[in-house]
Structure 1
Amino acid sequence: MDPESIRAGSRVHHGGDPDPDVLDFSANTNPSTPAGVDDVYADALEAARRYPDDDYADFRAAAAAFVDCDSDRVIPTPGGLAAIRLVMELELEPGDEALVPYPSFGEYAREVRLQGATPRFVRYDDCCDLRQVALENCSLAVVCTPNNPTGDVVDPDDLAAFAARCAEAGTTLLVDEAFLGFTERPSAATLDRENVIVARSLTKLFGLPGLRAGFAVATGERRDALETARRAWSLGTPAARVGAYCLRQDEFIRATRSRVASERARLRETLDAELGFDVCDSDAPYLLCDVGGRDVGDVLASARERGVAVRDARTFRTLESHVRVAVKDRDSNDRLLAALGVGAGDTDDGGGAS
């Protein structure tokens, strides 16, 4: 990272509420975890008395099977954001330019700047339409699928075509698939192109964001460089073992995808019909809502008074009248709707989150 850029940098606002008495809809994590995780974690904690095996063979094998690639292409990282930083440290130098989507995850621009590089912002839904000439001055291009906070997925054929144009321009393509596990869409890891690097997060899909487990997928010289550059013991033993276990829980994953799809459709219809919110179409475990004539601050405060935290989406570039809500289980989603005013404001007393 560039020392001067670090001194000039700042933190980025995220969702997630630390108050255990609040039902948190500001972070997009699964409210459920796979059965058996507690036992795997307990065994791993005992094994954590020794340093992890830095090869992470079992974790790599589980991750590779999950995204359909060879295990030697998997680079273990402590979360998806760690994979993103590792890629940017590899690909960017002071004075470089990186194509960054908006509105999208705020850490992209921050991480670009921490390397002393400059983010060039492009509408997220225009990124994959850029031609080669627009990419030639970019060392790196970022695509988020599904995009956060809008929830759109990129068509795999469009992404493959964009990756080819990036290769022709000498641009590395970083594909952030933090939420793609909630869908049945194929990973960009299947492209197996040397200019494409994928970043994955495990812990959102499996309801364990505090575990900090993720990975990158790369090939050729970039794979070798990432493997060399990653920190030794980059995953703790509990994260590696629980992560590998979760990635193999096929029935849990299928059930999660089905529930999210059903509840997302129900939430969207109700928010539109009952509250008049303009809700973006989404393939992700969250919905971006334009609250229209309402004051965003009032919406947030009212929900909070009823024990529910909603994400203030005004922190995303160009969004001025939006909130983002996670998609959880049916009972929790009903509490969200009540806190937002569905059903004439009839809510419970805002007690502890379930």
Structure 2
Amino acid sequence: MDPDSVRETDRVPHGGTTDPTVRDCSANVNPETPEGVESVYRDALEAAGRYPDDAYPDFRAAAGEYVDCEADRVVPTAGGLAAIRLAIGVAVEPGDEVLVPAPSFGEYAREVRLQGGEPRFVPHDEVLSADPDDCALAIVCTPNNPTGETADPDALADFARRCEECATALLVDEAFLGFTSLPSAASLGIETVIVARSLTKLFGLPGLRAGFAVAQGPLGDALERARPAWSLGTPAARVGAHCLRDEGFVRETRTRVDRERKRLRDGLEATGFAVDPSEAPFVLVDCGDRDVDAVLTHAREAGIVLRDARTFRDLDSHVRIAVRDRETTDLVLEVLDGG
């Protein structure tokens, strides 16, 4: 990181609440976890009296199988954000410009600034047609957070090749891609592409802090050299590998999220809200003439926490609502219909 930039860069807001008495629809986390997680965690905790195997062979193998790439291209990280930080850290130097989608995950711009780089904001739905020349890095989020749309695989592949031609690294954040059946950009096999993956959202384990990056060639070597030693704790590595191999859980989650997202969107639109199309476990809702603070307060008083999406760049009348279970969907629709 650039020391001068660190002193000038603030933290960014996120969803999530520590209050166990409310339904948290502000963080996009699966309310379910794979069967057997507790048993795997207990066994791993017993082994936590020793340092982890820093090679992480089983975790790398499971992650490679999950995104269809060789295990030696996987770089274990303590969550998807750690993978993003690592990627930006090896690709960006002070003074570099970086293509950053907007509105999108606020940590991209923050991490770029921490490195002394300068974000060049591009509308989120125009990133794949932007010119990456003269940029050290371009960032794509698919599905994009908070809008929920996915990048067309062919357009993404074409953009990745254009980035390769002008020696621009491409970071593809696939934190929510597991909720879809779309292929990972890891399968492109392009040396300038870095994929960031999170186990937080799909497997319902935000406190575990497990994720990984995927890269190859010089960038892959740089990520592996730069990652901290023991970048995953033993419980995170073992539980993570267990989750990544549970194909049935992934299929069931996708089915449930697709169903509840449609119910949530249809119900909100019937109430007069405008809802962006989404393939993610959340929807972006335009409150229109409604007062956003009043919507948030009304929901909170009914025991539901929504995400104030005005904290995202270029949004001024929006909330983001996570897709959870049927009971929560019904409650959200009932509360917002009365608000």
Normalising TM by the smaller chain, what interval? Answer: over 0.9
Query: Aligned to 2:95, what secondary structure does the other structure show?
Result: coil
Asked whether the equivalents of residues 44 and 237 of structure 1 are also in contact (C-alpha less than 8 Å), the reply is yes
| Partner of residue 318 from structure 1, selected from 299, 314, 317 | 314
- Once residues 96 and 157 of structure 1 are traced to their aligned partners in structure 2, the CA distance between those partners, rounded to angstroms, is 28
- Once residues 43 and 157 of structure 2 are traced to their aligned partners in structure 1, the CA distance between those partners, rounded to angstroms, is 41
**CA deviations over 1:44-63 (Å, ceiling 9, x no partner):** 00110110000100000000
Query: Aligned to 1:99, what secondary structure does the other structure show?
Result: strand
| Partner of residue 215 from structure 2, selected from 207, 215, 218 | 218
Percent identity, aligned pairs only, is: 66
- Once residues 304 and 34 of structure 2 are traced to their aligned partners in structure 1, the CA distance between those partners, rounded to angstroms, is 25
Partner of 1:26: 26
- Structure 1 runs (4+) greater than 6 angstroms displaced: none
Q: What TM-score, normalized by structure 2, do the two folds share?
A: 0.99
- Once residues 18 and 299 of structure 1 are traced to their aligned partners in structure 2, the CA distance between those partners, rounded to angstroms, is 20
Query: Do structure 1's residue 246 and structure 2's residue 243 form an aligned pair?
Result: yes
Asked whether the equivalents of residues 307 and 339 of structure 1 are also in contact (C-alpha less than 8 Å), the reply is no
- Once residues 237 and 249 of structure 1 are traced to their aligned partners in structure 2, the CA distance between those partners, rounded to angstroms, is 19
Question: Which consecutive unaligned segments of at least 5 residues does structure 2 have?
Answer: none
Partner of 1:37: 37
Q: CA RMSD in A?
A: 0.8
Asked whether the equivalents of residues 176 and 199 of structure 1 are also in contact (C-alpha less than 8 Å), the reply is yes
Amino acid at match of 1:103: P
Partner of 2:89: 89
**CA deviations over 1:122-178 (Å, ceiling 9, x no partner):** 001101012xxx322100000000000000000100000000111111100000000
| Partner of residue 140 from structure 1, selected from 127, 137, 148 | 137
Partner of 2:79: 79
| Partner of residue 194 from structure 1, selected from 191, 196, 201 | 191
Partner of 2:165: 168
- Once residues 251 and 333 of structure 1 are traced to their aligned partners in structure 2, the CA distance between those partners, rounded to angstroms, is 23
Partner of 1:348: none
| Partner of residue 308 from structure 1, selected from 304, 313, 325 | 304
- Once residues 334 and 205 of structure 2 are traced to their aligned partners in structure 1, the CA distance between those partners, rounded to angstroms, is 26
- Once residues 220 and 141 of structure 2 are traced to their aligned partners in structure 1, the CA distance between those partners, rounded to angstroms, is 20
Query: Aligned to 1:289, what secondary structure does the other structure show?
Result: strand
Query: Aligned to 1:209, what secondary structure does the other structure show?
Result: coil
Question: Which consecutive unaligned segments of at least 5 residues does structure 1 have?
Answer: 346-354
Partner of 2:260: 263
| Partner of residue 151 from structure 1, selected from 132, 148, 152 | 148
Compute the displacement of 1:339 (Å). Answer: 2.3
Compute the displacement of 1:3 (Å). Answer: 0.4
Partner of 1:47: 47
**CA deviations over 1:24-51 (Å, ceiling 9, x no partner):** 0000000000111000000000110110
Partner of 1:183: 180
- Once residues 136 and 25 of structure 1 are traced to their aligned partners in structure 2, the CA distance between those partners, rounded to angstroms, is 39
Partner of 2:6: 6
- Once residues 136 and 118 of structure 1 are traced to their aligned partners in structure 2, the CA distance between those partners, rounded to angstroms, is 15
- Once residues 335 and 53 of structure 1 are traced to their aligned partners in structure 2, the CA distance between those partners, rounded to angstroms, is 45
Query: Aligned to 2:207, what secondary structure does the other structure show?
Result: helix
Amino acid at match of 2:214: V
Query: Aligned to 2:66, what secondary structure does the other structure show?
Result: helix
Partner of 1:108: 108
Query: Aligned to 2:320, what secondary structure does the other structure show?
Result: strand
- Once residues 163 and 152 of structure 2 are traced to their aligned partners in structure 1, the CA distance between those partners, rounded to angstroms, is 16
- Once residues 339 and 212 of structure 1 are traced to their aligned partners in structure 2, the CA distance between those partners, rounded to angstroms, is 33
